Amino acid sequence: MSTQKRAYKFRCYPTDEQKQILARTFGCVRFTYNWALRLKTDAFYKEHTRLYYKDLSSMLTDLKKQDDYRWLNEVSSVPVQQALRHLDKAFITFFEGRGKYPTFKKKRKKQSATYTSSAFTFRNGTLTLAKMQEPLALVWSRPLPEGALPSSVTISKDASDRYFVSLLLEESIAHLTPCETAIGADLGLKSFVVLSDGEIVGNPKFFHKDETKLAKAQRRHAKKKKGSKNREKARRKVARIHARIGDRRSDFLHKLSTRLIRENQTICVESLQVKNMVKNRSLSKAISDVGWSQFVSLLEYKADWYGRNLVKIDKWYPSSKRCFDCGYIFASLTLDVRQWTCPECGVHHDRDINAAKNIRSVGLTVLNACGESVRPGAVKTNPGKTQRSRKPRK
């Protein structure tokens, strides 16, 4: 058993009155976040000083007293105050090297507001937010843990005008029964993932399937008059296509990652630098569509939840060029070569299956701390085997 904070996300359908309250709340949260970001940036670059959460909080209190900003008091103060905490967390993530510099929030993109326990009421399966008289109409697509009480509630609205509620709970998650199965996974474009046991999972290519429809909707949106209702309708249509692509991709990745976690004790994958790989103009669209980073992230936190092992091997390890049987390493192996025969032992390899087997082997070595190096140029081969013939020294 492990105690984890877990979020349960549900679709909700607010009334027209509740939509107006949420619209004002989203606007105040967005304004506060952008206002604080501008103050922090200007203070650092112009005055060479730093503003922290406590400084911005007191400045926000003074701002609400001004006549030009009285409208900030029309919504609950909790989500507005949480915007400062989110900004503080964004800067911590940036300084730790785990994210980019915070950017300003935009009106047409995803909107969200976070309510802590003092700003909502959760009783008998009904959720009522501050400043609202009636509870939100939620679609309970799955049950909550028995006796669970959310510590915070985040309500969001995406670009296609869909509303969602995320309930953050502290839950005890039971570890899965340990097993001895270990598997290596080679991520690719032609096939989404090739496993070391020979299973091949195809690439669904969700964006590619809807690319023509999306391009047509984007052309229609570009031709509409700016500020008109028809342009807003066209924008929502484009957003709905993007939402459909994202929802299908997330559903596929969640189901596949859950299955792999349940069936295997150890999963070995490569550490891919997707941010650098998308710089390739020929493959950037296909790499962005496949969703490698999201898949590895899902495997990572689900392995932590259920007591499984996820091993990431070095990105420079020559998994495709190394013969799994004898350890021979090719000098070069281009992407168009999908099958090859080892010149040392004569074994015929499928490129992806051979890579998955090597990833599994090295991942288990790293997990068991047997000492094999996975850095390029220092990879050990089998005893008595050489990578290429060398002339004796004179």
The neighbouring-strand residues paired with 166 are 9, 154
The neighbouring-strand residues paired with 122 are 127
68 is catalytic: no
341 token code pair: 């025969």
289 is catalytic: no
Cα→Cα distances 129→35, 80, 153, 198, 308, Å: 25, 14, 9, 51, 38
**Closest alpha carbon to 113 in 164, 56, 55:** 164
The neighbouring-strand residues paired with 93 are none
177 token code pair: 């029964």
Long-range contacts of 253-256 (CB under 8 A, 24+ apart): 253/291, 253/294, 253/295, 253/298, 254/298, 256/192, 256/193, 256/201, 256/295
352 is catalytic: yes
Phi-psi region of 351 (alpha: psi -120 to 50; beta: other; left: phi over 0): alpha
Find the radius of gyration of the CA atoms of the chain: 26
- Which is catalytic among the residues 270, 300, 314, 336? 270
- Which is catalytic among the residues 88, 289, 344, 352? 352
320 token code pair: 């495709």
- Which is catalytic among the residues 88, 186, 289, 344? 186
| Positions marked active-site | 186, 270, 352
